[in-house]
């Protein structure tokens, strides 16, 4: 096995980038779906011990008032990206006062950093894929960023170990112009189909991002949607 980061294999691939993608694909499933009223982010939240306080960490976090993000893969790597993205957002706001930073720009800055880590000696690629969802002056936007530095805008997507089954479900059910309630129903049904066990308010997180801002659903809200 080659541990070289910057040397291409005979088949033209960078093996360590593929390994980073595998780290993401082994992570907990995360979903994102764009509706006419905003973007829904959802993620499984695995607690491996009853001794862990499930409120002590989040899988879905705000980057700003109008931008949220989630991931699949290595949590500590995600924290590094969050710190950089929040700093990039503040820099933009200081330069362009009262103008919301385009979601495209934030995703592009994140992708550029991840791409740099595929060609610099002494570092390794980021072991995660991430969703950036938010509202700017052109509307609601959803982006996925991969360890290679590739990024693209989506209508809906899935990351993590359940991504293939989830993507098939989303492709079958998605249509333009969905309401938030319809989108939430699709997200919860998709999570249920791929989850090994019973979904409850402690093992998933759901957030909504739109012109009203970033909002993480409460446990009671999630209970109600699961009940419906």
pLDDT digits (tens, 9 = 90+) for 96-142: 988 999 999 999 999 999 999 998 888 899 999 999 999 999 999 99
CATH of 34-227, one of 3.40.50.2300, 3.40.50.12280, 3.40.190.10, 3.60.20.10: 3.60.20.10
Q: What is the value of pTM for the model shown? A: 0.93
Residue 173: the pLDDT is 95
Backbone φ and ψ of 51, nearest 5°: -85, -10
Residue 98: the pLDDT is 87
Contact 121, 115 (CB under 8 A): no
Is residue 64 scored above 90 in pLDDT? yes
H or E element, residue 192? helix 180-194
pLDDT per residue over 17-40, tens digit each? 999 999 999 999 999 999 999 999
Residue 50: the pLDDT is 80
DSSP state of 101: P
Closest by CA position to 66, among listed 48, 39, 47: 39
Is residue 54 scored above 80 in pLDDT? no
Residue 3: the pLDDT is 59
Q: Cβ of 127: how many Cβ atoms within 10 Å? A: 23
Is residue 170 scored above 80 in pLDDT? yes
């Amino acid at each position: 096995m080659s541990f070289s980061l910057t040397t291409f294999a005979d088949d033209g691939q960078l093996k360590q980038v593929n390994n980073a993608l595998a780290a993401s694909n082994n992570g907990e499933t995360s979903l994102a779906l764009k509706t006419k009223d905003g973007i829904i982010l959802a993620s499984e939240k695995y607690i491996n011990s009853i001794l862990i306080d499930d409120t002590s960490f989040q899988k879905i976090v705000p980057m700003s008032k109008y931008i949220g993000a989630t991931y699949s893969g290595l949590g500590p790597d995600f924290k590094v990206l969050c710190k950089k993205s929040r700093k990039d957002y503040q820099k933009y706001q200081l330069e362009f006062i009262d103008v919301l930073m385009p979601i495209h720009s934030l995703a592009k800055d994140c992708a550029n950093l991840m791409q740099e880590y595929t060609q610099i000696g002494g570092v390794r690629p980021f072991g995660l894929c991430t969703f950036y969802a938010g509202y700017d002056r052109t509307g609601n936007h959803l982006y996925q960023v991969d360890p290679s530095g590739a990024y693209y805008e989506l209508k809906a997507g899935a990351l993590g170990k359940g991504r293939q089954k989830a993507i098939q479900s989303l492709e079958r059910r998605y249509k333009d112009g969905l309401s938030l309630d319809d989108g939430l129903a699709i997200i919860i049904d998709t999570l249920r189909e791929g989850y090994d066990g019973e979904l409850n308010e402690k093992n998933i997180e759901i957030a909504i991002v739109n012109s009203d801002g970033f909002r993480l659903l409460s446990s009671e809200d999630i209970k109600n949607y699961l009940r419906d």
